[in-house]
Amino acid sequence: MHTVLNSIATANPSHKRSQADLATFMARIEGVPAAVRDRIGVLYSRSGIDYRYSCLSDYGAEAEDFEFYPKNWALAPVPTTGDRNQIYKTCALDLAEQAAQQALWQADLVAGDITHLIAVSCTGFFAPGLDIHLVQRLGLPDTTDRTLIGFMGCNAAFNGLKVAHAFCQANAQAKVLLVCVELCSLHFQVADTLEKVIVNAIFSDGAAAVVLSARADAAGQLVYIDSASKIAENSLDAMTWDIGDTGFLMQLSPQVPSLIQQTLPAYLEPFLERHHLTQQSLDFWAVHPGGRQILDQVKAGLALTEDALSESYGVLRRHGNMSSPTILFILKRMMDHPPPQNAVHTGIALGFGPGLSIEGALFQRFAP
């Protein structure tokens, strides 16, 4: 029995801003050192991003129209973590529900068909959590098996897929709903360093939902094959995500792209070998766009063509880095373009998160 991705649905909040407008907004904030402010425009323009989404209307508004931040350009007093988490509780549920409903509809299933729910997020906390609220909002059976994957960062969707695969292989009747939702823009910090400018320049809000099941016939489907993980040596401080008094705080070392490039070959070779594959035998690549430099380093380090990562660059350009849902946005675009008749294509998805950790999954696409 194959573990099949029956559908992938995506959702973004309604507030869409161009990267140029966001750079202008950030440069107006008081208290940013002049040397940092002078670099905002350049760093934003080189990000490889055209647009990003937020659950907040403030980005791009005038101070007197702010709804979340205080009505001044110092953004003072700075909203607390509790303030941000209250917005998360409402907006994350709404966005997750939207993606989940669409995924169920695309899979031609109703809420009562779902046996397992996996909820993934790292940008907020509350209990009863996303899992229980989604069961009730979606009308899933109150006996639905629930799994919550929290605070694992940008590559957490891979862990969700891994768990879903285990459920499907253990129970041929399983119908698994995986939902990832992140509201990264809630945790914007006033940029008093270039590192904070870069963090503010790439992250965005979004949600994605996947329905998976075990099926003997995989015609026309994207099939999950296997997964592998690796933690890079001496990298625990390279990418961190901590809870502070004024939101969750991201630390992103400039060494992250080179660490990924150095670690990938030792990760890929044994993973591919156990399936009698080589890098050259892969037909498609879905790489998490943690930032343009990460994609550039992966492309250069693995000698990939620009076309091989076109979907990854495209999602980055249109959405930014939405953390855990982002890889599912890329896989959805690939699902929309199945291989030619009678063909089976094999590909890999890769994601990078705190640790510094690499997560990957092998997929096959079957022709209709």
Local structure of residue 338 (DSSP, 8 states):
P
pTM: predicted TM-score of the whole model, two decimal places: 0.96
How many CA atoms are closer than 13 Å to the CA of 297, on its beta-carbon side? Answer: 20
d(CA 200, CA 194): 10
User: Which residues make beta-bridge pairs with 94?
Assistant: none
User: Which residues make beta-bridge pairs with 9?
Assistant: 209
Please answer whether residues 201 and 47 qualify as being in contact, where contact means their C-beta atoms are separated by less than 8 angstroms.
Answer: yes
d(CA 76, CA 271): 50
Q: Tens digit of pLDDT for each residue in 297-312?
A: 999 999 999 899 999 9
Q: Give domain limits for the chain.
A: 222-366
Lookup result for tokens 């009562």: 112
Please answer whether residues 9 and 166 qualify as being in contact, where contact means their C-beta atoms are separated by less than 8 angstroms.
Answer: no
Q: Is 141 helix (H, G, I), strand (E, B) or coil?
A: coil
User: In the CATH hierarchy, which top-level class contains the domain 222-366?
Assistant: alpha beta
Question: Would you say residue 157 has pLDDT above 90?
Answer: yes
Q: Tens digit of pLDDT for each residue in 201-258?
A: 999 999 999 999 999 888 888 999 999 999 999 899 999 999 999 999 999 888 899 8
The angle, 0 to 180 degrees and rounded to 10, between the axes of the packed helices 326-335 and 156-170 is: 60
Q: What pLDDT score was predicted for residue 112?
A: 97
> 278's torsion region: left (phi>0), alpha (psi -120 to 50) or beta?
beta
No. of H helices and E strands in the chain? Answer: 10, 13
AA identity, residue 7:
S
Q: pLDDT band for 152, please (50, 70, 90 cuts).
A: very high
Q: For the chain, how far is it from start to end, CA to CA, in angstroms?
A: 18
